[in-house]
Chains A and B, each alone.
Chain A
Amino acid sequence: MNGPHDLGGQHGLGPVTPETNEPYFHAEWEKRALGLTLSCGAFGAWTIDESRHARESLPPAIYLSASYYEIWTRALEILLKRHGFLTQDELDAGHMLEKGAEPKRVLTAEMVAGVLAKGGPCDRPVATPPRFVVGERVRTKNFNPETHTRLPRYARAKTGVVEAVQGSFVFPDDNAHGKGENPQWVYTVVFDGGEIWGEGADPTLTISIDAWEGYLERA
């Protein structure tokens, strides 16, 4: 979707402001927001792709002015309501009012170390060989789906070169919407700065994206 999250190349968002010796958290609630997001992810009710899509679907004015933990919190509320774990009435009341959906698992303190160390690999085998080879010129698709995609707007309809075949991975454009994992080959594709930005581009710049096979065609 052409949402507020797709930021590459936008102007007017201000300078980067690094903070010296930045703490991991700037408030106690940020710690809880991180822990809640990971704990609820462990329910097994939604995928990382669905949660990314929930975040990028927030209203642009909210997305662009919120801190990242606020974005996570707002998206988490949406996911929990969507999957029947709680209701808006309960959030308003600040208390449980009714029984909701049952998760596949509840993350306990004892499980945390194991779950975090294991992570969630999303490489999957595919039956067909990769369609493109290293060194091949490819053109990215021109499309504007209203649904989730990981092909940023700045890199659509651009010609680049396959630098690496990275393996085959869950296809987020489908997986975010419950259409299955449908894995595809993923390629690192490199573009000249001039191909992406045109006039006035930094001549020393190259940019790469990691692109699913369905985003690419032969140039």
Chain B
Amino acid sequence: MSERHHGHDHDHHHHDNHFTDMEARVKALETVLTEKGLIDPAAIDAIVETYETKVGPRNGARVVAKAWSDLEFAEWLKHDATAAIASLGFTGRQGEHMRAVFNTPDTHNLVVCTLCSCYPWAVLGLPPVWYKAPPYRSRAVIDPRGVLAEFGLELSAEKKIRVWDSTAELRYLVVPERPDGTEGFSEEQLANLVTRDSMIGTGLALSPEAAR
């Protein structure tokens, strides 16, 4: 067995052990709270089900597609994002105070929470691991181009980059630029081009070819 292989095995076990530790720790916590009548395990199931099936980035994609299709809605979204988004039925936890920021040919917007993991749950669902992890949170504000390159996104050298650090209770949704070649697309067709990352700023909306 090579040194490297051995090292890998060791890491793997460490990882497994760590997850087993957390499993036991969370199990103990849930058991104590349940025995005390402080929690309803079925409520946990309902919370998990909500974020696995109901509240996710498809919500945000519908908001963006409508903004691309309907100028009046886009204006509303610009000036009162919380109300405009609520009109589509998306409200609630970590979406109480929404702001929409629009990419333009001149400016690319990128959203981060350097201090914790603030994220617009109501339109994007639960944040991905990388959004909450130290590499993204440390570098988005100082080296956004380097971060974007790690997502395979190279912006032109002249493009302005605006980074929004979510330090308060406002939650930001990026409205990416509408891709070319989408004239006459329905809102549903447009929504299929809107990726989660394009609404954080770590990606662009897909071209119709790429979405196929």
Binding site for B on A (CB under 8 A): 5-11, 13-19, 22, 24-29, 31-36, 38-40, 43, 52, 55-56, 64, 67-70, 73, 76-77, 80, 85-86, 90-92, 94-96, 99-100, 103, 106-109, 111-113, 115-123, 150-152, 154-155, 166-167, 169-170, 186, 188, 190, 196-197, 202, 204-212
Contact = CB atoms under 8 A, between A and B. Distances in A.
6 contacts: A16-B139, A19-B129, A118-B92, A186-B168, A196-B142, A204-B161
A36 B33 contact: yes
B168 A13 contact: no
Nearest to B128: A22
Nearest to B101: A208
B114 interface: yes
B71 interface: no
A150 B168 contact: yes
Given A91-B29, A106-B37, A207-B165, A9 B141 contact: yes
Contacts of B23: 27-29
B126 interface: yes
A119 B134 contact: no
Given A18-B151, A116-B50, A212 B168 contact: yes
B130 A19 contact: yes
Given A9-B138, A122-B169, A166-B168, A55 B116 contact: yes
Interface of B: 19, 22-23, 25-33, 35-40, 42-48, 50-52, 55, 91-97, 99, 114-117, 122, 125-126, 128-130, 132-145, 147, 150-151, 157-170, 197, 202
A72 to B, nearest CB: 9
Nearest to B151: A18
A151 B167 contact: yes
B139 A19 contact: no
B165 to A, nearest CB: 5
Given A169-B169, A206-B161, A13 B128 contact: no
B150 A120 contact: no
A211 B169 CA distance: 10
A210 B116 contact: no
Contact of A210 (B39, B160, B167, B202): B167
A33 B130 contact: no
Given A9-B138, A95-B32, A106-B40, A35 B92 contact: no
Nearest to A28: B23
A33 B135 contact: no
A151 B168 CA distance: 9
A73 B25 contact: yes
A205 B150 contact: no
